[in-house]
């Protein structure tokens, strides 16, 4: 006789988008103005505990990509930190999102001295 499976007490689920690449008008220096630069973006969204049976029960990866494209297409952004803040806020506004981690890298920012420069930001929904 096999023992019954232990009950699931806590479900932790994340939606991940890794290595999203796009060109964006970003940077504070004169040589960065008016030209697109490559960005590499990772997003991690912690979801509320619930069973996932359909797309309506989770965060659609495409919603994350759409948010990135919307922010990039809105015009020049001076700081990577600003881009990350806007993206994290957009992701945290998605139904079921509890915590968001966004990492944005500019691969050419410090070439040839470094592979990339960037920022990581974590936003978490307050428990009320």
Q: Which is it for the CA torsion 88, 105, 40, 31, positive or negative? A: positive
Q: How far apart, in Å, do the first and last CA atoms of the chain sit?
A: 45
Domain boundaries of the chain, sorted by first residue? 14-124
CB 45 within 8 A of CB 51: no
3: confidence class by pLDDT, cuts 50, 70, 90: confident
**Dmax over Cα atoms in the chain, in whole Å?**
73
- Give pLDDT tens digits for 69-113: 999 999 999 999 999 999 999 999 998 899 999 999 999 899 999
Q: What pLDDT is recorded for position 5? A: 74
User: What's the CATH architecture for 14-124?
Assistant: 2-Layer Sandwich (3.30)
Euclidean distance between CA atoms 75 and 81, whole angstroms? 15
Q: Is the pLDDT of residue 127 over 70?
A: no
């Amino acid at each position: 006789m096999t023992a019954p499976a232990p009950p699931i007490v806590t479900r932790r689920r994340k939606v991940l988008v890794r290595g999203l690449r796009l060109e964006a008008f970003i940077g504070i220096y004169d040589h960065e103005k008016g030209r697109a630069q490559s960005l590499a973006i990772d997003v991690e969204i912690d979801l509320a505990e619930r069973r996932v049976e359909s797309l309506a029960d989770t965060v659609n990866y495409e919603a994350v990509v759409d948010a990135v494209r919307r922010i990039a297409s809105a015009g020049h952004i001076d700081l990577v930190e600003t881009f990350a803040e806007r993206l994290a806020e957009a992701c945290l506004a998605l139904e079921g999102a509890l915590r968001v981690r966004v990492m944005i890298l500019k691969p050419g920012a410090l070439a040839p001295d470094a592979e990339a420069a960037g920022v990581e930001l974590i936003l978490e929904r307050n428990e009320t």
